[in-house]
Chains A and B, each alone.
Chain A
Amino acid sequence: MSKALLYDATMCIGCKQCEGACAQQNKLPYDDKVAAESVQSAHKYTVVLTKDDKFMRRLCMHCEHPACASVCPVGAFHKTKEGPVVYDVWKCIGCRYCMVSCAFAQPKYEWQSLNPRVRKCIMCPDRVVAGKQTACAEICPTGATKFGERDDLIKEAQDRIRQSPSTYLPRIYGLNEVGGTSVFILSGVKVEEYGYPASAKIGDTPMPEYTGRVMERIPDFIPVWTLVLGGIYWVSHRREEVAAAEADEKNGGAR
């Protein structure tokens, strides 16, 4: 079964323990200076943003149909059956197509490195396979970040909205966006205010379909176009041969 994360912004107290746990899990540096950074980067996979007295977490959405996995020429990204979208650094050639294609701008790059890697939240795949929660969900003191079965979390999110409609905006961000994700956001304010792309802008179409529509035609296009080109070649050179033969005939007749 596919796992997912549910982040409820109304329950978040902005303690940033998820940031610290994430850094520890992924062997990244974490101190006061990093904690103060309010942007995601190659050394900060997740960030808790503050606006007035409200908080919002950002992390990789682990799309059901990830753009990064579909665009990567060497297949360095893939969606595991457990839910996480993971990265194989050995395969990566560093083209950064994943970065430009991601609707949520999640993959970040080690620009200063001489052998740079793409970095993003990978949803603790080792822990998930071992039946454990992600590091961020485990440490969360209020349960704002919750780990569980994708289907269960969707039901729970719907219940929470139903039970306190005044607290939440009536939408689960991530349920339908780009064909659905494995990270759901519940919030009393618009997630767009914290840099999430607007639902209307990114749409419900799975990202790989945009290029898939063209790519799926190629297997048919190649034989058809080869035949057309071959046909043109044959016709235009046949005409030449016929002309040459006719000229020969004429000369023969005159002789």
Chain B
Amino acid sequence: MKFKLTFWKVIFLVIMALGVYSTFIRYFYGLGAVSNMTDQFPWGLWIGFDCLCGVMLAAGGFCIVGAVYLFNVERLHSVVRPAVLTAFLGYLLFIVGLLFDLGRPWYIWHQLIYMNPHSVMFEVGMCVMAYTTVLFFEFLPNVFERFNLQAPIKWIKKIYPVLIIGGILLSTLHQSSLGSLYLIMPSKLHPFWYTPALPFLFFGSAIAVGLAMTIFESTQSAKAFGRHLELPVLVELGGALLVALWVNALLRFEDYFHRGLLGQIIKPSYEAYFLWLELALAFVIPITMLSFKKVRLSPGGLYLASVFTVLGFITNRLNIALIGFETYAGHHYLPKWTEFSVTLMIIAMGFALFGLAVKYLPIFPEERHAATQRLRTETGLVVATPVLGHAGD
């Protein structure tokens, strides 16, 4: 196979090269050299994005598996495999991110022998470990099918109800517990984001983003692999997304209302600007867009609404993890370029692994036989198709 250098491949290689350099700095010069984290800001971009956002972006797995296998919504069957793949990769990369952020990653196995059941972090750690195992088994049939091994597929099918129920149980626990992590910081986290409702908000946002990510990756891979885009599936997901966004928006409103903050959040302040950005991206724009039937029925509109949703909730979690602590810490935290570069490398690895998996495994099995039809979006919005299509070259 000839190696052709394309634009996205060059970008990918640059990101990887910088990432490798930053990795070197991280493990040979320490956290102080690689990051702008300080005693005042002990948790930075890697916790904020790689961990909090990473787990949220991987929530599509349990959302779709829940819809299809728990509630028996057969119509969504075709997106189960890509959603499970995204979730599996997401959790693996979450663990990679953790290996960068932990000060003593070589002792990560201590989690298994020195348990502190009072710790939210312990619960998150155990759930993530268990759920990654569940996702591994949910992902395995792809590999078995590829090599035409029928017997192990049957075994996995037998334990499927356990995997499904266990996976959703574990997801409910750790998606919400990521929010509970912050419950112990009432005097530090800004009141815009500190609320006893944090576990509920985290679980709610995970579902919205899970649905949005499924729309995003379906459209993205349709474009990248010249797949036929199943519009009815996307329309269904878009409807569910609209409901999920409304539920999230109402939760947020209720929370601010009961804590008497409605007057404060409309007053301009440093934190308010970031809150407005978050609320606009996560709620105002996508809810307005999806309220129009025309948008809800168009692949471009659905794609754009899901991108806004994802960006909005990423802003939300970065606000909680970073912006919400700046007033307490008394100074701003801006990640060092090497921190960005590690995060970018992890994202790039995600795209590349997704591309490889789709290329070599029956993630979209029905497409193997169907004539490939190019997706044509009337808006031409589907532009960013990084390394996906070329990952295997």
Contacts and interface: CB of A to CB of B under 8 A. Distances in A.
Interface stretch (B75-83, B85-93, B135-143, B183-191): B183-191
A116 B120 CA distance: 22
A202 B71 contact: no
B172 A232 contact: no
Contacts of A72: 116, 119, 121
A103 B185 CA distance: 7
Contacts of A233: 69-70, 161, 164-165
A222 B108 CA distance: 25
Contacts of B177: 214
Contacts of B331: none
Contacts of A15: none
B182 to A, nearest CB: 9
B187 A202 contact: yes
A221 B169 CA distance: 10
Contact of A116 (B104, B118, B199): B104
Q: By CB atoms of chain A within 10 A, which of B108, B121, B168 has the most?
A: B121
Q: By CB atoms of chain B within 10 A, which of A75, A93, A109 has the most?
A: A93
A28 interface: no
B306 interface: no
Interface stretch (B32-40, B214-222, B296-304): B32-40
B39 A105 contact: yes
B122 interface: yes
Given A70-B119, A233-B69, A240-B72, A210 B186 contact: yes
Interface residues of B, number: 54
Interface stretch (A94-102, A179-187, A247-255): A94-102
Given A101-B184, A208-B118, A233-B161, A92 B28 contact: no
A109 B187 contact: no
A230 interface: yes
Interface string A228-255: 0110110011011000000000000000
Interface in A202-222: 202-203, 207-208, 210-215, 218, 221-222
Contacts of B181: 97, 211
A216 to B, nearest CB: 9
Contact of A114 (B28, B117, B183): B28
Contacts of B180: 211, 214-215
Contacts of B172: 225
A: interface residue count bin: 35 or more
B323 to A, nearest CB: 15
B30 A73 contact: no
A213 B169 CA distance: 19
A234 B77 CA distance: 18
Contact of A94 (B27, B104, B186): B104
A197 B110 contact: no
Contact of B121 (A40, A97, A114, A222): A97
A91 interface: yes
A229 B120 contact: no
Contacts of B165: 226, 229-230, 233
Contacts of A202: 186-187
Contact of A93 (B69, B105, B117, B173): B105
Given A111-B32, A225-B169, A73 B111 contact: yes
A204 to B, nearest CB: 12
A233 B68 CA distance: 10
Contacts of B168: 229
Contacts of A163: none
A74 interface: yes
Contact of B72 (A113, A229, A239): A239
Interface in B16-49: 27-33, 37-40, 42-43
A232 B70 contact: yes
A108 B33 CA distance: 16
Contacts of B11: none
B30 A111 contact: yes
Contact of B184 (A108, A207, A222, A232): A207
Contacts of A99: 39, 42
Nearest to B126: A73
B115 interface: yes
B232 interface: no
Nearest to B38: A111
Interface string A186-210: 0000000000010001110001101
Given A210-B186, A229-B168, A236-B71, 9 more contacts: A91-B107, A92-B103, A95-B101, A100-B43, A100-B188, A114-B29, A203-B187, A215-B117, A215-B120
30 contacts: A71-B120, A73-B111, A73-B121, A74-B116, A74-B122, A91-B110, A92-B107, A93-B108, A93-B110, A94-B105, A95-B103, A96-B103, A97-B119, A97-B121, A100-B43, A101-B184, A105-B40, A109-B39, A112-B32, A114-B28, A197-B187, A201-B187, A202-B186, A210-B184, A211-B118, A215-B120, A226-B169, A233-B70, A233-B164, A236-B70
Q: Which 6 A-B pairs have the closest CB atoms?
A: A94-B103, A111-B32, A75-B116, A99-B42, A236-B72, A73-B122
